[in-house]
Structure 1
Amino acid sequence: MAGRLRALVCTAAAVLTVPLLAAPPAPALEPTTVRPTVPATGSPATASSTTAAPSPMLQRIRRMGIVAKATEVPGSPRGTRFFRITVSVPVDHARPDGPTFGLRVNLLHRGSDRPTVVETAGYQLWNDPYRSEVTRIVDGNQIDIEHRFFAPSLPANPDWATQLTIRQVAADHHRVISVFRKLYDGRWLSTGDSKGGMAATYHRRWYPSDVTGTIAYVAPNDAVDSDDAYPAFLARVGGPRLDDCRDRLVALQRRMLQRRGWFRGRLEAFSAANGLTWRYVGSLDRGLEASVIDFYFAFWQYWGAEACASVPAARRLSNSEVWRYAGLVNPWRNLSDQRRFYSAPYHYQAAAQIGGPKPYEGRLRDLLEYPGANTPANVLPPALRPVSHDPTAMADIDAWVRTSGRRMLFVNGQFDPWAAEPFRCGADGRDRSCRSVTVPRGSHGALIQDLPRRVRLGVVREVGSGRD
């Protein structure tokens, strides 16, 4: 698992884009993860003529009331058919007869008699077909729903404060599921990784009967934003056996801050060559400092303990070598305006409702010029500031999971920083079929397949059979 993540990170650094497979590797303060690739199931379907008449399946989809556009796309894995769809949803679900906008949905059709898995993207939609781990376990259909406010699923002249809330997003999911049940009336599950897993959990809070069960991967639960467990987790992640790994990572951070002038100049040249600006975070110097802070978080989020053996000693490297290594772990453009513009809906939600981690600065404080500044509210475009945080939103979700959530499975990575504040099922969780499992030494790419064999087989049986 760690090798797969490491390879993906290295590839991402080379091209400066990032498969989730849905989005570039996000900065450390953005909970995203790497999706599993489609397994080899045979040669792709043969492309059909663009002039062929719509298939009966495509005609059925187009006749569903909220569908504004639907196209069948060739090239899906053998035994499946892939459709790109745009549905019409209310801009404000409190005004169902008011303005609407187009929300993108992908459908990977396996069979009308198969279970259906809803994957809540959390961010932009991945354009090409793939099968999530849950979809592969149940050998089912898969519906992927883009998160509202991620382009192009964006209303005209949006009101972020009232229209970009966890409840509005949950209502999007409910509307899509309600309509697509006309195609599939069998068992339904929901899933999502990282922020997508959070969204799947929020959806169940208000629409608990929409699906039979929910499998949320590496989903953080910042129940009380002001009570932050992330710095303490990062200070001792991996325990005494990884003391040296943590020390070497911190030494690299300190080297970059001690030679701030050199690294700022390198970032300035890199930014000029790549058309990057740093106004949202405040200045290029602030962007440098925030990037250095995020480097440590990103290592544990994406690379994990298995990569510790490859962490170099800062004293043996030139400044250029430190720059290159840091960029492999956490691409230097991640905090630029251009990347932050893409992820602004996440940062707005983090500031307004879902919360986010405080920056881990404990061993760098003597070198920082802007301590405490690297938070979601401080990296938003100026037009979206200031943001008022609602402390009741996550407290409500947390209480529901602990006391009422049924048929919920949370999959976490032991060394993933986002696991510092996980969802917990409560004392009677077993009675409600609510539980969590942890991948030993796992990172933010933790999957069911990475669990110890006995635990894995039990989880696969439960997910595959639909047993409560």
Structure 2
Amino acid sequence: MKYFRLTFSFLALLLAGLAVAGATELYDRLIALKGVVSVEELDKGFFEERYVVMFDQPLDHKNPSKGHFEQRFVVAHAGFDRPTVIVTEGYGGARALNPRYREELSSRLGANQIFVEHRYFGESTPSPRNWDYLNAENAAADLHAVRQALAAVYPEKWVGTGVSKGGENSLIYRMYYPQDVDVTVAYVGPICFGVEDGRHEPFLERVGTAEERAAIREFQTEVLKRRKELVPLFDEYCKSKGYEFRTNIDEVFDLCVLEYPFSIWQWGTAVSVIPASDSPHQELLDHLTATVSPDYFAVSEEPSFFVQAQRELGYYGYDTAPFEGLLSIKNAKGYLPRILLPDDARRIRFSDALSRKITAFYKTNDPKVICIYGQNDPWSAAMLDTTAFDGKQNMKLIVEPGGSHRARIKTQSDEVQNQIWKTIEGWLFGI
């Protein structure tokens, strides 16, 4: 009798588990996909169902024998008969777990949303962390593998999209796999040609009005003039936060001051919030650290972005000439590999082959792509070559007047928004 009861209890638990697993058609289809390791239900939020999926990927898609890792992606389900938006994220995927997260494309189109966390970020980090396999081609192949796995689940049209590094990622993905998506909407995605690209510094010398630039320069100069008083306060602040650096605190202070105008313009901060030059020391420091957090230059447990920047994505430099005699450093050349890279990535050397390949692809092809940038965003200095849009029937370039890195479809004028949605919906639905 005891054996019967145990067996009955086991069967009851097993059947209960099967009932949960078979609760929805979508769950059953996801868990059955080749490569899927696990499927976990999430709060459905704005969708009918949502799941976080762990998916097996090769470290090197050209040589799977090199090993595997698990990549996280989030499935937000609107309907099997709806289009699907694939978010080509450039970083970690924690924000996609939020039940309120929904891309504007997914909302407008009533679309399914597949958010793919980038390899070497968040829960998609291989162990051990071998930097050899962190490159754009492998990242695009990751997206392709997810797309192929979900092809039968979501057979309608697909839209690729991403923001910033994710925007660049969407362009790279479209280049490597042009048939995977029907439409690409890339937001503020830069294409850089060097670790210190060289176009951002002159951009900062002409962006905005002369009065705005003067206010920014005045703040930088005043902060540097007060370095004797401010650096000890800055050091105390960094220690209180537990930040550790690969250089001395004076250089970190200098770099924060040099980064300041880039951050102001990138995020569209009004110059009216800049403290007056005669403000107390602490007020100046508080504004500086609120605009440029020193942890940007701190040792990070996840330096993956800077490894990619050093290898092929590129980045920007700083012009130190206007502050000669006020800085503790002679110049900022080579700051990224010296300060932001871990020791095991120092051997990586930059190649502009990827950026040249991207540019060549979009110059010689005309996929259904919309690129959106903000006029005042320093990253727009490295926007996709504008000549790639010349004479094209499909490719569209939108530059938001006075816009920042926050430029989206919803931030455009009503007229431009209507034009964009009419184009996208025409491509997808023939409207």
Q: Does 1:187 align with 2:154?
A: no
Partner residue of 2:308? 349
1:70 corresponds in structure 2 to 39
Q: For the Cα contact (< 8 Å) 1:192–1:199, is it kept in 2?
A: yes
Select between 55-64 and 437-446 the one with higher mean Cα deviation: 55-64
- In 2, the alpha carbon distance for the partners of 1:91 and 1:69 equals 19
> Does the 8 Å contact 1:359/1:374 carry over to 2?
no
The structure 1 residue matched to 2:256, chosen from 283, 288, 291, is 291
Q: 8 Å contact 2:359–2:388 — kept in the other structure?
A: no
Question: What letter is aligned with 1:327?
Answer: T
Aligned twin of 1:274: 241
**1:46-61 maps to which residues of 2 (within 5 A)?**
53-54=20-21, 55-56=23-24, 57-61=26-30
- Flag the 1:256–1:52 CA change in 2: closer, same or farther, 3 A: farther
The change in CA–CA distance for 1:287 and 1:226 in structure 2 (over 3 A counts) is closer
Give the AA of the match of 2:41.
E
Residue type at the aligned position of 1:157: P
Q: CA separation in 1, counterparts of 2:389 and 2:352?
A: 25
- Quick check: 1:134 aligned with 2:96? no
Match of 1:230 among 195, 200, 203: 200
Alpha carbons of 1:437 and 1:170: their partners in 2 closer, same or farther (altered >3 Å)? Answer: same
| Displacement of 1:236 | 1.1
Decide which of 176, 179, 183 is 1:213's aligned counterpart. Answer: 183
1:89 partner amino acid:
Q
Matched, 1:154 2:125: yes
State the Cα distance separating 1:117 from its structure 2 match: 0.3
Is 1:123–1:147's contact at 8 Å kept on the other side of the alignment? Answer: yes
Q: In the comparison of the two structures, how many residue pairs are matched?
A: 407
- Equivalent of residue 449 in structure 1, options 397, 406, 410: 410
Deviation at 1:374, TM superposition (A): 6.2
Q: 1:215 to 1:362 in 2, by over 3 A?
A: farther
Q: Provide runs of 4+ in structure 1 moved above 4 Å.
A: 49-52, 224-227, 427-430
User: 1:166 is matched with which residue?
Assistant: 136
Choose 1 or 2 for highest CA Rg: 2
Q: Give the Å deviation of 1:60.
A: 1.1
Tell me the residue number matched to 2:298.
336
The answer on whether the counterparts of 2:116 and 2:143 sit within 8 Å (CA) in structure 1 is yes
Q: Which amino acid aligns with 2:268?
A: W
Of residues 367-376 and 97-106 in structure 1, the stretch that sits farther from structure 2 once superposed is 367-376
TM-score by length of 1: 0.82
SS of residue matched to 1:236: coil
Q: 1:376 aligns with which of 336, 349, 352?
A: 336
The 1:156–1:108 alpha-carbon spacing in structure 2 relative to 1, beyond 3 Å, is same
Residue 348 of structure 2 is matched in structure 1 by 387
Q: Deviation string for 1:267-294 (max 9, x for gaps)? A: 2211222211112xx2222211111111
1:312 alignment counterpart? 275
> Aligned partners of 1:202 and 1:210: how far apart in 2?
12
Cα distance, 1:208 vs. partner? 0.4
Distance, in Å, in 2 between the alignment partners of 1:398 and 1:191 is 18
CA distance in 2, matches of 1:430, 1:298: 34
Structure 2 counterpart of 1:361? 320
Distance 2:196 2:361 in 1: 20
SS at match of 1:366: coil
Maintained 8 Å contact 2:194/2:315? no
TM-score, length basis structure 2: 0.89
Q: Secondary structure at the match of 1:64?
A: coil
Residues 111, 167 of structure 1: alpha-carbon distance in 2 compared, 3 angstrom cutoff? same
- After superposition, the C-alpha distances for 1:27-52 in whole angstroms (9 at most, x for unaligned) are xxxxxxxxxxxxxxxxxxxxxx9997
Determine the C-alpha separation between the residues in 1 that align with 2:134 and 2:56.
Answer: 16
**Distance (whole Å) between structure 2 residues aligned to residue 203 and residue 365 of structure 1:** 43
Q: In the alignment, which residue of structure 2 is the partner of 1:407? A: 368
Structure 1 portions without partners, runs of 5+: 1-48
> Given that residues 121 and 304 in structure 2 are in contact (C-alpha distance below 8 angstroms), is that contact kept between their aligned partners in structure 1?
yes
Distance 1:184 1:51, change over 3 A: closer
Q: Percent identity?
A: 26
Cα offset for 1:430? 4.6
Alignment-mate amino acid for residue 205 of structure 1: M
**Contact 2:56/2:68 (CA < 8 Å) preserved in 1?**
yes
C-alpha change, 1:50 and 1:262, in structure 2 (3 Å) is farther
What is the rounded CA distance, in whole Å, between the counterparts of 2:365 and 2:389 in structure 1? Answer: 9
Q: Which has the higher contact order (CA 8 A, sep 6+)?
A: 1
* 1:311, distance to aligned residue in structure 2 (A): 2.3
